[in-house]
Amino acid sequence: LLSIAGFVIASLLCSMATSLVQMVLCRILQGVSGAAFVPLSRTIVADAYPRHQAARAMAVWGLGVVGAPIFGPTLGGFLTETFNWRWIFYINIPIGILGFLLAARFVPETPTKERRMDWLGLVSLAFAVGALQLVLDRGHRDDWFESAFICAGVGVAIVAFAVFLRHSLRPNEHPIFDVRVFGDLNFSLGCLVMGATGVAMFGGNYLQPLFLDNLLAYPAMTAGLVLMARGVGSLVSMSLSGIFADRVSAKWVALPGVLTGLAGSYMMTRYSTQIEPMDLLLPLFLQGVGIGLIWVPISALAFSTIPAEKSAEASGVYSLVRSITSAMGVSITSTYLAREIETQWSLLRGLINPYNPAVQAFLAPLDLHSQTQSIALLANTVATQSKLTAFVSGFWFITASFAVMIPLVLLLKNRGPRRRFAGAAMPE
């Protein structure tokens, strides 16, 4: 209830922000308040359903977790184009109030026990993750290790993570996250697969709207409608994964999901500036189907060998890994895109000169009346081609994220000779 209330208040403050500093501070408050939503909701659903119904419940729960960031750009584009950007935050308020009332009415009280807050673990982990995120966000702009600031950030991240790890592994401590759960092979592999899924999902969320806006010049509403194809794919496949729960082993649901996402991402590497809107839909739909088929069975396999008494700790760690890798996916993708644009611009610019026969053939039929017009046209053409090549490279990066999952999924073990994932989707 505190998380929901804090999120609603933070959303209201975001909608009232009048400067970049205010917006950043309010967004930090929003992130702190909303961070508990996924692990807590997962635990609530786990407690509410018997083990044999867990996979279907997990599939329904996953529709919200996966569907929200996929459909978010569509709704955001509609609200921004129809009203203004503040409505992106206004929309959270009535939904949050409704969620608060429903949670207060239907979510039962849970037994609590006294536990000392692990301030050292919390602070060291926050410094490690924060410093790493800052390095990834600013590394390209500050020329990476040529910058003292970036070097200091890397040093802080390493030291803080070492402190967190040493503290968490002490036998008499009660750490904020029990990293010993990574000793379970299935859980560790599941975290890696979910991390790669987060990179592919949120990296794609970053690239695709930019491609539609910057290169194809789609209006916000049109871009949102096109991007809905990925959300529809995820909703369909997550619904199917719940149906398959009683019939198919988890690994053999996840693997086709990886291959489908790989196929959709590969098709995106064939994009061009002349692509028709309808040709954008199939790759997005396939990528969405892949993500939806991965989510539930991988969670099932990750927790299938975790003891019941460790499930709460594992759930927190699992959500943390997903959140960190998702944020890193956006940072890495944005840095990679910016670097590729600069690299391609420098490469193509060197090939453009008035003595190049290809340039002369390109300009001859245009009947431009001045050298200034010719230079402007060439500069715009080179910039567009540089961006296109960079975006295609970015889509190759997303494709590689799916490809990495294939051996990881194959290494996952079903518990028992014909282990289904109906009873393993969530811990009791």
Q: Does 88 reside within a domain?
A: no
pLDDT value of position 355: 62
Split into its structural domains, the chain has a count of 2
Q: Does 352 reside within a domain?
A: yes
For residue 371, pLDDT over 80 is answered with no
Same domain, 305 and 170: no
> Predicted confidence band at 400 (pLDDT cuts at 50, 70, 90)?
very high
Q: Does 69 reside within a domain?
A: no
> Predicted confidence band at 425 (pLDDT cuts at 50, 70, 90)?
very low
Same domain, 123 and 252: no
**pLDDT for 220-243, tens place per residue?**
778 878 888 888 888 888 877 767
pLDDT value of position 111: 64
Percentage of the chain exceeding pLDDT 90: 13
**pLDDT for 23-41, tens place per residue?**
888 888 888 887 777 777 7
For residue 298, pLDDT over 70 is answered with yes
For residue 372, pLDDT over 70 is answered with no
Same domain, 203 and 308: yes
Give me the mean pLDDT over the 336-349 stretch: 84
Same domain, 128 and 270: no
What domain range is 386 assigned to? 190-356+369-428
Mean confidence (pLDDT) of the chain: 80
Same domain, 293 and 164: no
Three-state SS letters, the chain: CHHHHHHHHHHHHHHCCCCHHHHHHHHHHHHHHHCCHHHHHHHHHHHHCCHHHHHHHHHHHHHHHHHHHHHHHHHHHHHHHHCCCCHHHHCHHHHHHHHHHHHHHHCCCCCCCCCCCCHHHHHHHHHHHHHHHHHHHHCCCCCHHHCHHHHHHHHHHHHHHHHHHHHHCCCCCCCCCCHHHHHCHHHHHHHHHHHHHHHHHHHHHHHHHHHHHHHCCCCHHHHHHHHHHHHHHHHHHHHHHHHHCCCCECHHHHHHHHHHHHHHHHHHCCCCCCCCHHHHHHHHHHHHHHHHHHHHHHHHHHHCCCCHHHHHHHHHHHHHHHHHHHHHHHHHHHHHHHHHHHHHHHHHHCCCCCCCHHHHHHHHHHCCCCHHHHHHHHHHHHHHHHHHHHHHHHHHHHHHHHHHHHHHHHHCCCCCCCCECCCCCCCC
CATH number for position 396: 1.20.1250.20
Same domain, 207 and 258: yes
**pLDDT for 254-294, tens place per residue?**
899 999 999 999 999 999 888 888 889 999 999 999 988 88
Q: Does 202 reside within a domain?
A: yes
pLDDT value of position 102: 87
pTM of the model: 0.75
Q: Does 161 reside within a domain?
A: yes
> Predicted confidence band at 428 (pLDDT cuts at 50, 70, 90)?
very low
